Amino acid sequence: MRSGTSNHQAEELVQEVMLTVWRKAEQFDPHRAQVSAWIYQIARNRQIDLFRKESRPVPEELKEDPASEPDASQLLAVEQEAGHLRKALAELKPDQRLIIEKAYLGELTHQQISEETGLPLGTIKSRIRLGLERLRHELKDLKT
How far is the C-alpha of 97 from the C-alpha of 100, rounded, in Å? 5
78 domain-assigned: no
68 domain-assigned: no
Total count of domains within the chain? 2
Q: What does the DSSP assignment read for the chain?
A: -TTS--HHHHHHHHHHHHHHHHHTGGG--TTTS-HHHHHHHHHHHHHHHHHHHHHSPPPPPP---TT-PPPHHHHHHHHHHHHHHHHHHHTS-HHHHHHHIIIIIS---HHHHHHHH---HHHHHHHHHHHHHHHHHHHGGG--
Task: Give 77's pLDDT tier (boundaries 50, 70, 90).
Answer: confident
40 domain-assigned: yes
22 domain-assigned: yes
Write the pLDDT tens digit of every residue in 82-134: 888 888 888 899 999 999 989 888 888 999 999 999 999 999 999 999 999 99
Write the pLDDT tens digit of every residue in 17-65: 899 899 988 888 888 889 989 898 988 888 888 888 777 666 666 666 6
Query: Is 60 exceeded by the pLDDT of residue 3?
Result: yes
Residues 51 and 98 grouped into a single domain? no
126 domain-assigned: yes
Q: The CATH number of the domain where 134 resides is what? A: 1.10.10.10
Q: How many Cβ atoms from other residues are within 10 Å of residue 36's Cβ?
A: 8
82 domain-assigned: no
> In terms of residue numbers, what domain contains 45?
7-55
